[in-house]
Structure 1
Amino acid sequence: MRLLAWLRGCALLLCACLLQAAPAAPALGTAHGPLELHELVGGLEHPWALAFLPDGQGMLVTERPGRLRRVSAEGVLSASLAGVPPVYAQGQGGLLDVALSPQFAEDRLVYLSYAEAGQDGYAGTAVGRGRLSADLRALEDFWVIFRQQPKLSTGAHFGSRLVFDRAGYLFVTLGENNQRATAQDLGKLQGKVVRLHADGRIPTDNPFIGKAGARAEIWSYGHRNPQGAALNPWTGQLWIHEHGPRGGDEINLPRPGRNYGWPLATHGINYSLLPIPEAQGERAPGTEAPWYVWKKSPAISGMAFYDSARFPAWRHSLFVGALAGQALIRLSLDGDRVVGEERLLESLNARIRDVRAGPDGWVYVLTDARDGKLLRVGLAAP
């Protein structure tokens, strides 16, 4: 009996030690209280972007291997929609962003950006549009309205986000295909933001119209790999963010004809730990300083302004996804100034590829994984 009691005591002591040593699961806390988190859909293969359909029809989600799916309002995931173009699904390439036409209620046009194969193994970013069928199962009459020229990527730095402004112009962010010098070359569409009419025509007031040796599509240049873009709802100004190299992720507010520095100006270094050969420091003559910089790269992707009454504590915030940083970053804004930063969802250990503010006031997040998820995030009721 004494031996039994001794063994029982040892077992209890061992359990107590194990419980004390086991790390507690981190709480999903924020500066404004705990989060309410719902997993709506799983089983998405490297989802990249989402767009909300009107009238309670759910949302469209892109998967990088080349599938466009619909998530119904009830959380049911559809089969892949027909009519999606073939994509170059290598490296960082594949099916990328999705956006609805500003006149979607009348024209039912859905815009896609994607990596498109070219000759000799190279690829570049393309943008096309098709009509969403009445049964929500296909894109009909898909046609390409823009192609990045020349095609120089072997699998890296495609961009690419799509944003319509208040006047109906379409902005497309384009990576420099991991070819640094092209971002400063106005004869190439690498490392640029371009501005188009909704049908792909070039606006006659673009900043490089009529300039010899310059592509007329270009709005701004000197970008590295912009994978976040959104229209500021209070000012109508386009905001973008872009990956730095090793360090130096940036937010920029692209103005017509301006040079945003890459690779002449950067806050980062090469992955080899050596300096960027062309860099002249953090600011080079004739270039614009970034609006906001992360000296240590979170590897940012996706961007959404928040201005809903559902969660008043989050109003005047900018949400940004982080891949390497595995977080949802919330930036507090005072006008256009970033005055605070908070990191959410870090305990999920998930790469955040896209973030959108839903029409219902919730924040929606896509995690980048072979078994990617669509999450709905908000503040828990007090």
Structure 2
Amino acid sequence: MPKCEAAANPVRAIPSTALLGLALAMAAVPALAADRVATQSVEIEVTEIVGGLEHPWSVEALPDGAYLVTERPGRLRVVRDGTASAPVDGLPKLFVGGQGGLLDIALSPDFATSRKLYFTASVPGEGGQGTALFAARLSNDEKRLEAVERLFAMNRFTGTGQHFGSRIAIGADGTLFFGIGDRGEMDRAQDPQDHAGSILHLNPDGTPAAGNPFAGGSKGQPEIFSTGHRNPQGIVIDPAEGTLFTVEHGARGGDEINMPKAGSNYGWPMISYGKHYSGADIGIGSSAEGYEQPVHYWDPSIAPGAIDVYRGAMFPEWNGDFLVAALKYELLARIERDESGAITGEERLLEGAYGRLRDVKVAPDGAILLVTDEVDGQLLRISRAAAP
């Protein structure tokens, strides 16, 4: 956000009548109400930036302090000065149903000059619907998307309405990582010729990135980075270390944080720390040769919606910790990590206070942004509470 600059003009006396008018005007505008909440290490304030959103799915902070928010039913809005804009025009045709619709949004690293952004969505096509990745430009007046281009679509569309993924993480080299779930057909996650159940790695133009394990496509789809993922709805690159992490839905138990590496298989549905919804065992156990173990898992499930790594000035106590938005228990999980990256504990924040938490992002000023996946959804901001 821009810093304040000192005025160059000389100071002038303000008439008392003007001061009275200013005081009355300020009194007539209520300050945004904030909830003060105690945590293990610091008191926080939770402020609603805007409400009235329909199933918001993703938020991005714009360079000037405004926000972009996606709504799953197929709307993109700009939130500025506490007000959500009319829907931005120019979105492509989407499939809206079940867990599908308009999903994640991410700003290109050069957005401040190019106004380029990326977004994921479920789209209709031959055989049903599937996950696609798009690039576009936000117009200067913020009213429409321009130069919309579909960069990628998964190779097998089906009629199921779940497990589309799919958040976006942008590497230091500008390449794009995003996940696609198994689309409710678990065996697809073990088929390297199927994009379902995998993490994808693409160049900004949608072509397969260098270093993917199936270059050439003879043994697997060339866009695939890793396989064996059930439904990775969160993905982040730690800005301090450059490490890729995902958070994924398990079945009945077995939600996971993974650290995907090129060519690795993360086991679904061969191994899991959960069970099927019927109560039946999954696969061959919780570990087996050839399958990677999660960095962390939950049993019972918390239904994770997104993940970020806290790197910011506002909460130095939380430096390096994972922040995971959760739907089922309506909470923000702070997963503590030591200097080596090892997980040392978990603190559950805001449980049941605001509804289903779908996205979490660390803002440029170190505050934490959340969106609530509700019919009357909110964009929330967590900041450090001032001393009493």
TM-score, scaled relative to structure 2? 0.88
Alignment partners' CA distance in 2, 1:194 and 1:54: 27
What residue in structure 2 maps to residue 380 of structure 1?
A: 385
In structure 1, the residue matched to 2:272 is: 266
Displacement of 1:309: 1.5
Q: Aligned partners of 1:375, 1:293: CA distance in 2, in Å?
A: 26
Separation in structure 1 between the aligned mates of residue 36 and residue 116 of structure 2, nearest angstrom: 42
In 2, Cα distance between equivalents of 1:153 and 1:190: 14
1:355 is matched with which residue? 360
**For each residue in 1:108-148, what CA deviation from the matched residue of structure 2 results, as whole angstroms up to 9, or x when unmatched?**
1111100011234x211001111110101111020100001
User: Given residue 308 of structure 2, which amino acid in structure 1 is its aligned partner?
Assistant: A
CA positional deviation for 1:28: 2.8
Deviations 1:35-61 (A, max 9, x none): 2111110000000001111133x1110
Name 1:32's counterpart in structure 2.
Answer: 41
Q: Secondary structure at the match of 1:313?
A: helix
Question: Which letter does structure 1 place at the counterpart of 2:85?
Answer: S
> How far has the Cα of 1:374 moved from its partner?
0.6
> Do the aligned partners of 2:264 and 2:292 also contact (CA within 8 Å) in 1?
yes
SS of equivalent residue, structure 1 residue 346? coil
Q: Tell me the equivalent position of 1:41.
A: 50
In the alignment, does 2:97 pair up with 1:90? yes
Does structure 2 conserve the Cα–Cα contact (< 8 Å) formed by 1:227 and 1:242? yes
Structure 2: runs of 5 or more not aligned: 1-34
Equivalent in the alignment of 1:67: 75
> Could you tell me which residue of structure 2 aligns to residue 311 of structure 1?
315
For the 8 Å contact 1:45–1:64, the answer to whether it is kept is: yes
Give the stretch that moved more between structures: 182-191 or 206-215: 206-215
How many angstroms does 1:152 deviate by? 2.5
In the TM superposition, what are the counterparts of 1:283-298 in structure 2 within 5 Å? 283-298=287-302
| Aligned mates of 1:326, 1:80 — CA distance in 2 | 27
The number of equivalent residue pairs is 352
Matched-pair contact (CA < 8 Å) for 1:306–1:357: yes
Aligned to 2:372: 367
Alpha-carbon distance in 1 for matches of 2:356, 2:37: 16
The alignment yields a C-alpha RMSD, in angstroms, of: 1.4
| Distance (Å, rounded) in 2 between the aligned partners of 1:106 and 1:34 | 37
How far 1:204 moved relative to its partner?
A: 3.8
Question: Quick check: 1:104 aligned with 2:111?
Answer: yes
Show the counterpart of 1:320. 324
Work out the CA distance in 1 between the residues paired with 2:140 and 2:240.
Answer: 34
Spell out, residue by residue over 1:76-132, the C-alpha distance to the aligned partner (whole angstroms, 9 max, x if none).
210000111121111000000000112212321111100011234x21100111111
Q: Does 1:207 align with 2:216?
A: no
The percent of aligned pairs where both chains have the same amino acid is 44
Q: Tell me the equivalent position of 1:226.
A: 232
Q: How does 1:134-149 map to 2 (within 5 A)?
A: 134-149=140-155
Partner of residue 201, structure 2? 195
Distance 2:367 2:249 in 1: 26
How far the C-alpha of 1:349 sits from its partner, in A, is 4.9
Residue identity matched to 2:306: G
Asked if 2 retains the 8 angstrom alpha-carbon contact of 1:319 and 1:329, the reply is yes
